[in-house]
């Protein structure tokens, strides 16, 4: 590694430490594993070239095709609500940059990540492979129908919003599983967490107000 490169890595690490302390821990995220993983994963490698220094700011960033990588705090909050454990098989809908999948992959066994825009799926697949995330499989498809080949899932996490939770996603959740999704109108939503109990009953709790890009597909908004 060149000297300037070592300096760069060091300053990115400092930015990550500050991000976790000021934006995430300070707002009440207490799960130590989530905080550790967010300190470790180089978020600047998941944003477009030229944006790397903005990667640790307290906001979402554009990643092309009209989509965004979520704000760091929201990634941490969704991961905490998902409660991934080391044996879990997780379905991630809306791969985008692949950053959320990367974070969750460090806390679960295997991730199936679905993205509808082929260019974003291809870039994320390539990036995740190069960065060594061997337990993430990126699939180009409409995630509103879930992904039947590997169902049921211990956790399902959706990074795009709709007025209700697509029914097939609830079907593909294992008893004992958790689903996290922004639910609401197109300009503001709330994070919802659904737990499927052992007897199949669904228990829903409502969390922070959020603003996500639309979920587009067969069981959500139509493609404009
Ligand atoms: N988790 C991502 C956030 C990306 S934004 C990250 O960490 O970067 C949400 C993504 O959901 C967009 O890339 C969008 O194309 C995708 N999306 C929207 N509707 C979808 C659907 N029906 N199936 C799969 N992906 C979808």
> Model confidence over 120-152: pLDDT tens digits?
999 999 999 999 999 999 999 999 999 999 999
Q: Is the pLDDT of residue 220 over 90?
A: yes
**What's the CA gap between 6 and 28, in Å, rounded?**
32
Task: Go through the domains of the chain in sequence order and give each one's CATH number.
Answer: 58-210 (3.40.50.150)
Residue 80, H or E segment: helix 72-82
CA 87 – CA 188 distance, rounded (Å): 34
For 76-94, write each residue's pLDDT tens digit: 999 999 999 999 999 999 9
Tell me the pLDDT of the chain averaged across its residues. Answer: 96
Candidates 11, 52, 70, 105; catalytic one: 70
The pLDDT of residue 99 is 98
Q: Provide the angle, in degrees to the nearest 10, between the axes of the packed helices 3-18 and 32-40.
A: 150
Confidence of residue 4 (pLDDT cuts 50, 70, 90): low
Number of the ligand 1 atom closest to the C-alpha atom of 46: 8
How many angstroms separate the alpha carbon of residue 103 from the centre of ligand 1? 15
Sequence-distant (6+) residues with CB within 8 A of 224 are none
Query: Rounded to whole angstroms, how far apart are CA atoms 213 and 86?
Result: 29
Cα 141 to ligand 1 centroid, rounded to whole Å? 11
Query: Does residue 105 line the site of ligand 1, with CB under 6 A?
Result: no
pTM: 0.97
Pairing of strands 173-184, 189-196: antiparallel
Q: Is the pLDDT of residue 1 over 70?
A: no
């Amino acid at each position: 590694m060149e000297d300037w490169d070592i300096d760069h890595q060091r300053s990115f690490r400092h930015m990550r430490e500050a991000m976790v302390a000021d934006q995430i821990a300070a707002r009440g995220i207490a799960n130590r594993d989530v905080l550790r993983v967010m300190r470790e994963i180089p978020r600047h490698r998941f944003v477009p070239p030229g944006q790397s220094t903005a990667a640790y700011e307290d906001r979402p960033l554009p990643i092309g095709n009209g989509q965004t990588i979520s704000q760091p705090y929201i990634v941490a909050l969704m991961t905490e609500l998902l409660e991934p454990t080391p044996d879990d098989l997780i379905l991630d809908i809306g791969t985008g940059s692949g950053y959320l999948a990367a974070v969750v992959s460090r806390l679960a066994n295997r991730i199936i990540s679905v993205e509808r825009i082929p260019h974003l799926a291809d870039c994320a697949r390539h990036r995740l492979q190069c960065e060594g995330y061997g337990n993430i499989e990126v699939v180009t498809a409409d995630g509103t129908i879930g992904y039947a080949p590997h169902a049921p899932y211990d956790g399902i996490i959706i990074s795009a919003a709709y007025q209700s939770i697509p029914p097939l996603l609830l079907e593909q959740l294992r008893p004992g599983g958790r689903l996290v999704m922004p639910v609401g109108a197109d300009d503001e939503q709330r994070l919802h967490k659904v737990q499927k109990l052992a007897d199949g009953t669904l228990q829903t709790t409502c969390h922070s107000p959020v603003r996500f890009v639309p979920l587009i597909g067969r069981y959500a908004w139509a493609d404009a």
